[in-house]
Amino acid sequence: MLISSALEILKEGTLQDLSLRALARKAGVSQTAPYRHFEDKEALIVVLIQEGSYILQEEMLEAIEGIDDPVERLIQLGVSYYNFAEAHPAHFRLMFGGSLECKEKYTSLVEIEQKGYELVQFVVGECMKLPGAPEHPPEIVRLACWSLVHGLANLLLNDVHNDDIPSDEDKRAVVSEVISLYTRALFD
């Protein structure tokens, strides 16, 4: 109940609106109840980021399950990233919004994020073995792919210049088309 209440606060407002007191009010519990679960606001944020990381990884793994073509796997990773951002905007913003000053002190968080990074690294690595792969370091190609998908997700989620893309279904189609266009051009 506390996690879902925290996510509701973030959907309705900003990170500044999230406090353990606000969480208690939203959840309808005593002011001290959240402190039994979270040492402070940062501990709550860590739990939310970990939860989002688990969800994103599961969705990425599901998206590439049974796909043999590395380029198609990379496309589906990108589409699943956008789908996650659309379905879990509060998690997405926390995960990639610089919400924590020193992530490194949370080893379980670093480990789960590393697993997601390694999945993308592996798929890009497989694409880099293809005959049409660009002659750039894999790290640059991985960053370029991630930048495209992350930027696209932010633009569409924030409705930046999207007047001609009215529905979420249309946005998903555009995402799939843009990611496919970019990825196939990169590896053909």
pLDDT tens for each residue of 35-73: 888 888 888 899 999 999 999 999 999 999 999 999 999
The range of the structural domain enclosing residue 5 comes to 1-38
Element (H, E) at 137: none
The answer to whether position 77 is within a domain reads: yes
The answer to whether position 46 is within a domain reads: no
Same domain, 121 and 34: no
Same domain, 146 and 64: yes
Residue 80 contacts residue 62 (beta carbons within 8 Å): yes
pLDDT tens for each residue of 82-126: 999 999 999 998 898 877 888 888 899 999 999 999 999 999 999
Same domain, 87 and 156: yes
The 10 Å Cβ neighbour count of residue 59 is 17
pLDDT at 11: 83
The answer to whether position 112 is within a domain reads: yes
Predicted confidence (pLDDT) at residue 6 exceeds the cutoff of 90: no
Same domain, 65 and 129: yes
The answer to whether position 44 is within a domain reads: no
Total domains present in the chain? 2
The answer to whether position 43 is within a domain reads: no
Same domain, 139 and 165: yes
Query: Can you give the CATH number for the domain in which 29 is found?
Result: 1.10.10
Same domain, 24 and 77: no
The 10 Å Cβ neighbour count of residue 79 is 20
Same domain, 32 and 58: no
Phi, psi dihedrals of residue 118, rounded to the nearest 5°: -65, -35
Question: What span, in angstroms and rounded, lies between the C-alpha atoms of 153 and 151?
Answer: 5
Same domain, 70 and 112: yes
Predicted confidence (pLDDT) at residue 136 exceeds the cutoff of 90: yes
Token duo for residue 68: 């043999």
Query: Can you give the CATH number for the domain in which 109 is found?
Result: 1.10.357.10
The answer to whether position 47 is within a domain reads: no
pLDDT at 152: 92
Same domain, 68 and 139: yes
Same domain, 107 and 138: yes
The answer to whether position 45 is within a domain reads: no
Cβ contacts of residue 165 below 8 Å, gap of 6+?
Answer: 156, 171, 174
The answer to whether position 106 is within a domain reads: yes
